[in-house]
Amino acid sequence: MRDECERVDSKQLGNLLQNIPDSESITRMAAVFQALQSETRLKMLFLLRQKEMCVCEFEQVLSVTQSAISHGLRILRQLDLVRVRREGKFTIYYIADEHVRTLIEMCLEHVEEKHEL
């Protein structure tokens, strides 16, 4: 922290600060984005966007170990980005809700919009 510069209006800044999400929401959002920051987990979600899948299907498609897949799915599950259902000896994963689809599609549009490097 430093002395205020001439642009600073402390009162206004106080208001702005009050209008951001509370600290718990920020923490959770950070966790969600952090889950989405892994290429492996992103691929999982783009696969799940097309069809629900079991762990061994992921295994055939992604070039990481079954352990890595399970760990990744757990993180997505904990944040309610994907959900699970048992079917006999299989564990079927699927996208939790439309927010998740919108989230990844919004981001895809954003990065595809600029082809320039």
For residue 7, the 8-state DSSP code is T
Q: How far is the CB of 65 from a copy of itself (least distance, A)?
A: 9
Q: Which stretch binds DNA (CB under 7 A): 2-10, 13-21, 101-109?
A: 2-10
The answer to whether residue 34 forms part of the interface with DNA (CB under 7 A) is yes
- Element at 99 (helix H, strand E): helix 98-113
**Tokens of residue 112, six digits:** 């595809």
Is the separation of the CB atoms in 94 and 83 below 8 Å? yes
Q: Which is nearer to DNA, 88 or 98 (CB)?
A: 88
Picked from DNA, a copy of itself, none, the partner binding residue 83 (CB below 5 to 8 A depending on kind) is none
